[in-house]
Amino acid sequence: MKAIHVPKGGGLDNLTVADIPDAADPGPGEISVRLHASSLNFHDYGIVSGNMPTEDNRIPMADGAGEVTAIGDGVTEFATGDAVVSTFFPDWIDGPPPLADFTRTPGDGLDGYAREAVTLPASWFTKAPDGWTHAEAATITTAGLTAWRALVVDGGLKAGDDVLVLGTGGVSIYALQIALAMGARVFATSSSDAKLERLADMGASGTVNYKTDTDWGSTIAKMTDGRGVDHVVEVGGPATLQQSIKACRIGGHMALIGVLTGRSGDIPTAAMMAKHQRLQGLIVGSRNMQKDMVRAMETTGLRPVLDKEFPLDQIADAFRHEESGDHFGKITLSI
């Protein structure tokens, strides 16, 4: 079967399409899945670009969605024909996080889903939301669950809350949709006026261009009558955190998710202390969180925003599209 290999050192021009052995028949507790889609994330880009070194000929992509083709002995949660989606941390079923690295994450420490089929433990998957396409389902594993955990699990989001999302990547768009579906009010930033218009059309109550308004945190706070937002989905990192603190209310919650502006930097700790704010670092979530999210998507009718789809053998072009920053929502691969 066909798979993508990342050579040691990475590089988009060095990605190759390889023939690998077909997936084995499922053993006890395992399922075989014919993969149909994956979706691109910043973490995947780190792997394929070589910025996050991994093993030679690693199969990339943490997100995988497809159809169960066979089940092993003892599997009762799934049946052949079920639509399923992968989990980011296969060993994290429930409870507090058990690890602080990516050694057990598909597409990084383990081979991922840029291939046609897999046979793996059933616990590495959940059912996909009923009625979703495989491309839609593939967006849950990383981006969707990150937004869900940030707002619902860690943030305790409730109707009437104010939420700030930064930019128009997959996590931010998911966060906007989840917040709106749960009765919250959403504010958003972008460097593109055209994208800000799309955010407003989706329901954002206020938007700010962070390139033309460098004190955008204060502007967002003014939009809430000076109170500040209850939650910030902070995907930028060190270069945006100062403004996020300004935008966030006294006693508010900031979910620290991204490193888009770097892995370290100055943090105005005194300002955060003075406002009694909570800064919560997180990376995706557990399998049970994902199952809860799937039920919520089915209940609310929420569907992810898809940008552009590429065939698997054009994976390098897909990541170049991500590099450009022109996308709005999730970029996907068809397999």
In a domain, 170, yes or no: yes
What's the predicted TM-score (pTM) here?
A: 0.95
Facing residues of 188 across strands?
A: 165, 207
Predicted pLDDT at 271: 87
* Structural domain includes residue 290: no
SS (H, E, C) 170-217: HHHHHHHHHHHHCCCEEEEEECCHHHHHHHHHHCCCEEEECCCCCCHH
Look at residue 15 and tell me if it is in a domain: yes
The CATH number for 6's domain is: 3.90.180.10
> Which residues on neighbouring strands pair with residue 106, listed in sequence order?
110
CA angle 52, 58, 59 (to 5 degrees): 110
The reply to whether 125 and 21 lie within a common domain is yes
Q: Would you write out the chain's pLDDT as a tens digit for each of its 335 residues?
A: 999 999 999 999 999 999 999 999 999 999 999 999 999 999 999 999 999 989 999 999 999 999 999 999 999 999 999 999 999 999 999 999 999 999 999 999 999 999 999 999 999 999 999 999 999 999 999 999 999 999 999 999 999 999 999 999 999 999 999 999 999 999 999 999 999 999 999 999 999 999 999 999 999 999 999 999 999 999 988 889 999 999 999 999 999 997 655 566 677 778 888 999 999 999 999 999 999 999 999 999 999 999 999 999 999 999 999 999 999 999 999 99
Residues 236 and 117 in one domain: no
Whether 88 and 180 map to the same domain: the answer is: no
User: Facing residues of 169 across strands?
Assistant: none
Domain co-membership, 35 together with 70: yes
Instruction: Examine the domain organization and report whether 174 and 112 are in the same domain.
Output: no
Whether 277 maps to a domain, the answer reads: yes
Whichever domain contains 234, its CATH number is: 3.40.50.720
Count of domains observed in the chain: 2
Structural domain harbouring 72: 2-141+304-334
4 DSSP β-pair partners: 17
Q: Residues 3, 15: contact at Cβ < 8 Å? A: no
Q: What is the structure's pLDDT at 308?
A: 96
Q: 173, 318 in Cβ contact below 8 A?
A: no
Which tokens is 171 given?
């996590």
Asked if 136 and 254 sit in the same domain, the reply is no
Other CB atoms within 10 A of residue 57 CB: 15
Considering the domain architecture, whether residues 113 and 221 belong to the same structural domain is answered as no
Which residue is it, tokens 């590429």? Answer: 310
Please answer whether residues 50 and 9 qualify as being in contact, where contact means their C-beta atoms are separated by less than 8 angstroms.
yes
Q: How far apart are CA 27 and CA 35, in angstroms?
A: 18
Q: For residues 87 and 199, state if they share a domain.
A: no
Q: Assess contact for 302 and 203: CB atoms under 8 A.
A: no
Do 46 and 118 lie in one domain? The reply is yes
260 and 213 within one domain: yes
For 142, residues 6+ apart whose C-beta sits below 8 A from its C-beta are 39, 41, 43, 62, 63, 88, 170, 284
104 and 205 share one domain: no
Distance (Å, whole) CA 195 – CA 197: 5
Query: In which element (H, E) is residue 49 found?
Result: helix 42-49
